[in-house]
Each structure stands twice: as structure tokens, then as C-alpha cells.
């Protein structure tokens, strides 16, 4: 799956308030609850799965990007939320730089190939400096989604 397949305008948080990776993950999971992508009663269990995955190794891949992700049997389709931080979030990233773009996604349990494919597509897109800069400079969620759609067509 590509980024454009799992995001809507409402699943883009243009100004994360988080200062660390745990707060960022919570903020994005709250967005998925608010947008109806995960059920409120599953919120804490899903947060625990993402935190467990993140504790094993930070998903701060460098270049100001974090991609927290996990598999869970509490969803039936791939879901995600994108957060942007103007000040940067301490994500214990590989390059020790603050993370400005956080892409959280969840994959249904047992869909290992889809999980890897989705992670690879997101990482490939976010690895492009011009794409990251365009997302960081975009004035609103609608503009960010338009940038994602254009990049996905290339």
C-alpha cells in the first residue's frame, strides 16, 4: 500500500504538540480514534503494541522522519496518520536529529508482506528531500495530501 491509499486530509496532523516519540505516537493514535479508523475501546491495546515495537528499536530512520508501525488483530485494513512537528520531536533517531514528520501506520495481524511493502513504500517516499521539504512547507493538511498524491503518481 502507498501513503496515498491510507491517508485522508483528516488523518494529517499539521502541528504535532508532542515533544518526544511516545507523545507523538499517542497523538497520532488519538487521531485514528477521532477519525473512526480504530475503535475507542481498542486505543490502549493498539498504543501498547506500537510502543512495544518502538521499544525494540526506534523507527526514527533519519532525515527528520519517524515511521512507527505495528501489526494488530484489532483492525481489518491498513490505517495510518501523518503528523508534522514544526519544532521537531526527540525520536531517538538513527542520526540523532529531531523528527519533523511522523508517519504512524498499522497493519492487520498476519499480513507480513503487506506490512513490509507498506513500510518500504512510505520510507522510499519520505527519503526524498524535496518531498519532505514540500510537506514541511505546506500551509495545511489539504496541501500536504495534494503533495502526497502528486508524489505517488510519479
Using one digit for the tens of pLDDT, what is the confidence trace for 53-70?
Answer: 999 988 999 999 999 999
Between the two ends of the chain, the Cα-to-Cα distance in Å is 15
Cell (9 digits) for 143 = 496541501
Q: Residue 103 in 3-state DSSP?
A: strand
| Average pLDDT, integer, range 13-32 | 97
Whether residue 153 has pLDDT greater than 90: no
Residue 1's pLDDT is: 74
pLDDT of 154 over the 80 cut: no
Residue 46 reports pLDDT greater than 80 = yes
Q: What domains can you pick out in the chain, each with its CATH number?
A: 3-153 (3.40.930.10)
Q: Is 79 helix (H, G, I), strand (E, B) or coil?
A: strand
67-125: pLDDT as tens digits? 999 999 999 999 999 999 999 999 998 899 999 999 999 999 999 898 889 889 898 99
Q: What is the pLDDT of residue 2?
A: 83
Amino acid at each position: 500500500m502507498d501513503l496515498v491509499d491510507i491517508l485522508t486530509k483528516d488523518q494529517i496532523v499539521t502541528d504535532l504538540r508532542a515533544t518526544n516519540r511516545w507523545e507523538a505516537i499517542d497523538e497520532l493514535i488519538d487521531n485514528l480514534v477521532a477519525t473512526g479508523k480504530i475503535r475507542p475501546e481498542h486505543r490502549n491495546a493498539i498504543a501498547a503494541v506500537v510502543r512495544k515495537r518502538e521499544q525494540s528499536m526506534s523507527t526514527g530512520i533519519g532525515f527528520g522522519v519517524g515511521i512507527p508501525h505495528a501489526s494488530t488483530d484489532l483492525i481489518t485494513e491498513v490505517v495510518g496518520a501523518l503528523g508534522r512537528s514544526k519544532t521537531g520531536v526527540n525520536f531517538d533517531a538513527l542520526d540523532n536529529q529531531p523528527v519533523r514528520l511522523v508517519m504512524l501506520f498499522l497493519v492487520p495481524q498476519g499480513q507480513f508482506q503487506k506490512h513490509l511493502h507498506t513500510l518500504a513504500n512510505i520510507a522510499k517516499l519520505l527519503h526524498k528531500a524535496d518531498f519532505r521539504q514540500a510537506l514541511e512547507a505546506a500551509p495545511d493538511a489539504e496541501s500536504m495530501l495534494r503533495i502526497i498524491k502528486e508524489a505517488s503518481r510519479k
